[in-house]
Structure formats: C-alpha cells, structure tokens
Amino acid sequence: MNKKTPAVIVLEDFSVWPGFSCGAFNDAEGEFVFNTAMTGYQEILTDPSYKNQIVVMSYPLIGNYGIIAKDYESERPFLSGFVMGEMCKNPSNWEMTETLESFLKRHGVPAIEGVDTRALILHLRNKGALRGLISNQVSELGRLKKKVRMIPSMVGAALAPQVSCREKYSWSSSGKFHALVYDFGAKRGILRALAAEGFRVTVVPAQTSSSDALALNPDGIVLSNGPGDPEPLKDIIEVTKALIDSGKPILGICLGHQILALALGGKTYKLKFGHHGSNHPVMDIESRQVEITSQNHGFAVDAASLPDCVKATHISLNDKSCEGFSHKEAPIFSLQYHPEASAGPHDALKYFRRFKEMIEKKASRA
C-alpha cells in the first residue's frame, strides 16, 4: 500500500484543513468554491469558468468512472485545484481512458483528499467564498498563512481573455443558420447544443471587434460563459453595445448574460459563495414553471438596475437572484445558468430552440 503524502488547505481566515495529496505535487492558489453535483466531475474540471478557483466537491466519492474522452468541455483543466472527500483509485467504466489521479497529475492540477468536505462547505457557506491554497508543505503553516493573504481577489479579475481561443474556428459547417459564438471560456456543450439545433457554428476570440464579427455575416450571436468579474471587461462590453445596435439576435449565457446586462446599462455584484452545481431550481417568472439547472457563477446581475427596455424573465428559487432577462423590443435574451447543462439536467435545452426561432422570425421579416 502506497504511503499517503500529507497536504493541507489554508484559507484567508487562517483556518486549516488537513488531508492527503492526490494530484500534482505542487501548490495551488485561488478562490475556494463548492460544487453540489453528484456526477460530472470531468466537465467541472474542464470548464474554463473555474479559472483561478479551487473546487470543493460535496459528493463524498469522486473519480469512480474515470476520465472519458468525449466528456471534455475544453482542451484541458483551467481550475487551480481540486478538493475531495475521497478519490477513487480503481474506477470501473468501459469508456474510460485514464483514472482521475492520472488526469490530475498529467495536467499539473494539485488535489487533496481525506478532507472533511461537509465541514469545509458549511464553513464556505457561512463565511462566503474565500481565497486559499493547497500545499504539501504542511510544516510551514506560518509561511502559508502569510502567502494566502497575497492571493488576488476574484473581484476585478478580468479572466475571459486568458481562457479564450486565440483564433476563430468552425465547430459545425452545416446548417441553415449561422451562429457566431464569442468565446469567453465557452463550454463545448454549448457548441454541441447549437449544432444539434441545426446551426453552422463559428467560434471567435473574446476580443474580436464587432466589425470583424459582423463581417462573418452571422444570423445570430451567442455570448458564452466564462470566468471572473464581468465589470472590468470594458472593451468587451463596448463591443457588445455595437452588437446590440446591429439588430442581430443575441443569446447570453452565464458571463455573457452579465456582459449583456452591463452593455444595456445594468449592474452586477459578487455573490457570497456563488452558484455551482447541477441541481439549482429556477422559475420562469411568466409561466411559473420551475426548471432544475446547471450553474457555475460567482457574480450576478442586479435585476433592479436593468433599464425599462429589459424585463427579468427568470429567478433563482434559492436566493432570488436574477437568472435571466429579455429585451422588450430587440431580439435579445439571456440566461445566468447553463441551458446546455454538461453535465446536468436537460430542462433548459429548449432555449437553444427559442434562439433559433428568434432568428427564423427575424429572417421572415427581412
């Protein structure tokens, strides 16, 4: 039996959480958040929206079905570290290509197991998301406690350009309508859902100008999910204003939802501990229908700040935060949660169809 290497979590409130190293043998720094999903750890690991964050999994056993090639949401992990109660060392799944442990080490992701994740998550719920680190240097707590206060805050962090593609590319080349996706950290699930709805899909970097985007002659534009604080993305917000003025149908998802709100004159704010999981109830305000949704965000739109030309359409049943809005006149709507799920429930896949119907309606008037 291999001897386990002790590791430790140190948070900015100087609380210490012992465990054992089970990933790459180096330190991790970032904002600690927790995810309540029971499955989908590979999608979580490869979601670019977790850039500069360390994810604590609430489900006690992680890694039991290994890593599956087709389940990647991006080309690699973007999160800083991973925390589990227990990591499965001997997974069983006919589709797996490697173990979770191998995946973490191959990509240089530090991880820790043997942590009382239930107590840690309750701590984060009470205190809010905290900066912190994972380290194998368990005898140097004094140094680690000094180091933890130097970790940058997520507030003011403009991270979308850091995770975006560097050049435009085609995801799907066939379809009646052309959807252009701004990549702020786009999950592949969004691209798959658009292709399944019959779109030709082109993906462009986060800092693509409005003129370059419109020169590609899209029928509709999708502003994707992504990491960090939306407010410092000033250039992207200005580009979004120009895209709104173009009259093209626009769908905003997660960070894209927040960027749309800011471009329309609204405001955003930092949530206490964010929404991270695949079981978040959201209500459609008009129909009163409830959807169970997949979510991953630490900021939210202030519904009260939205201009009169915009109406809130969805609300979180957990904390009453704004989960969606639509423009009263222009072909624009957005969702704070992930309609593509990946992984998670499929309650909201219908909104990709709604986006297509919006484009069809505009085309019929042309």
Would you name the residues annotated as active-site residues?
254, 338, 340
How far apart are alpha carbons 317 and 342 in whole angstroms?
A: 21
CA separation (Å) from 161 to 106, 124, 167, 190? 24, 28, 12, 18
Q: Using CA atoms in the order 47, 218, 337, 273, what is the torsion angle rounded to 10 degrees?
A: 60
Tokens 């957990």 locate to: 318
The pair of structure tokens assigned to 198 is 């019959």
Distance CA 237, CA 258 (A): 10
Q: Hey, how many other C-beta atoms are within 10 angstroms of the C-beta on 162?
A: 16
The total of other beta-carbon atoms located within 10 Å of residue 319's CB is: 12
Task: Give phi and psi for 258, each to the nearest 5.
Answer: -70, -40
R_g over Cα of the chain:
20
Cα–Cα distance measured from residue 350 to residue 339, given in angstroms and rounded to the nearest whole number:
8
Q: Are the beta carbons of 131 and 54 closer than 8 angstroms?
A: no
What Cα–Cα distance (Å) separates residue 73 from each residue in 101, 174, 177, 225, 238? Answer: 18, 22, 24, 12, 28
How many Cβ atoms sit within 10 Å of the Cβ of residue 293? 25
Contact between 272 and 242 (Cβ < 8 Å)? no
What is the enclosing helix (H) or strand (E) of 355?
helix 350-365
